[in-house]
Amino acid sequence: MTENAKRIGIVILLFILVTLTWGTTWMAMKIAVATIPPIFATGLRFLAASPLLLLFSWLTKTPLLFPKGSRLFQLLICLAYFAGPFTLMIYGESYVSSGLASIIFANMPVAVLIVSILLLKERISPTQLLGLVLGVVSLSTILYLESSQTSGTSWQGIAALLAAVIIHAIMYVQCKKRSQKISVLTFNTLPCLGAGFLLLLLGSWVEKIDSAMFSTSSLISVGYLGIVAGVFGILCYFALQQRASAFQASLVFLVFPIIALGVERMVSGTTISQASLWLILPLLLGILLTLTPISTIRTVLRLEPVRT
């Protein structure tokens, strides 16, 4: 096997692992929040992930603190990247199906593009603008259809999930603006640990916590979210970003909602409406267009091989 073939094989394997991890995360959140309050469940999730992150940081001699001058930003990541958005995500799944939640979060590239335009004054191509409009219109229509046709869908849950996407997009753009080359372990370990303790304390204070009511399936789901999604998924996606182009790695956002919808049908026997399923096609096309660099589009139009 040549080195190039081996590299392609590793990229494909990582892509599959990431999409499977992200695709199953949504059903795990749905099961977890069934018997564990959302704030407390998110705190448990982060504390489940923290020991492994600390171990990997120790084994690789990775610093836990951000460089001097960026420590306040590290605290902001703890609050606005981990504690807030992840709690909003699992809270939203109290009112929204896991499949619809995954579709909302798949629009992260669209949200990042919008925030980049507003905060960084970033210029975009006409193709990206078309993708942005197509994505927003398709998602808005899906949300309208699901809220009006499905009794289990609430605007309360939709609003929480949209807020999580927007906050994550803002934090992503802020990280991009600062252009800090920080290890994935440094970025995740202490903020994850801090968010875990903070949310457990907050959950114990504002939520009615009765551990006797926690089901085994909910506890297993929390463990899965922390260890598999929170550690394994993050490291696999980081490895994918190192070995593939940014465009190739971003294609994960087109695949994991499909897996989430399939998992939802297998586990609960339900899915979104037929009309919404058809609207996923223009939605994913819109996301793809926002992700596609103009250089790639020009190469394809000239029928030249894409260089990665």
Q: What is the residue extent of each domain of the chain?
A: 3-301
Judged against a pLDDT cut of 90, whether residue 8 lies above it is answered with: no
**302 exposed, middle or buried (CB, 10 Å; 0-12, 13-18, 19+)?**
exposed
What is the per-residue pLDDT for 69? 83
pLDDT for 196: 97
pLDDT at 300 exceeding the cut of 60: no
Mean pLDDT of 31-48: 96
Q: What is the pLDDT of residues 279-290, one digit of tens each?
A: 999 999 999 988
pLDDT, position 285? 92
Distance, CA of 29 to CA of 25 (rounded, Å): 6
In DSSP notation, the chain reads --HHHHHHHHHHHHHHHHHHHHHHHHHHHHHHTTTS-HHHHHHHHHHHHHHHHHHHHHHTT--SSPPTT-HHHHHHHIIIIIIHHHHHHHHHTTTS-HHHHHHHHTTHHHHHHHHHHHHH-----HHHHHHHHHHHHHHHHHHHHHHHH-TT--HHHHHHHHHHHHHHHHHHHHHHHHT----HHHHHHHHHHHHHHHHHHHHHHHS---GGG--HHHHHHHHIIIIIIIIIIHHHHHHHHHHS-HHHHHTHHHHHHHHHHHHHHHHHS----HHHHHHHHHHHHHHHHHHS-HHHHHHHHTTPPPP-
pLDDT digit string (tens) for 52-96?
999 999 999 999 999 888 889 999 999 999 999 999 999 999 889
Contact 86, 144 (CB under 8 A): no
Average pLDDT, the chain: 88
Q: At 303, is the pLDDT very low, low, confident or very high (cuts 50, 70, 90)?
A: very low
Q: What's residue 122's pLDDT?
A: 82
Q: What is the pLDDT confidence band of residue 308, given thresholds at 50, 70 and 90?
A: very low
Lowest mean pLDDT among 15-24, 194-203, 267-276: 267-276
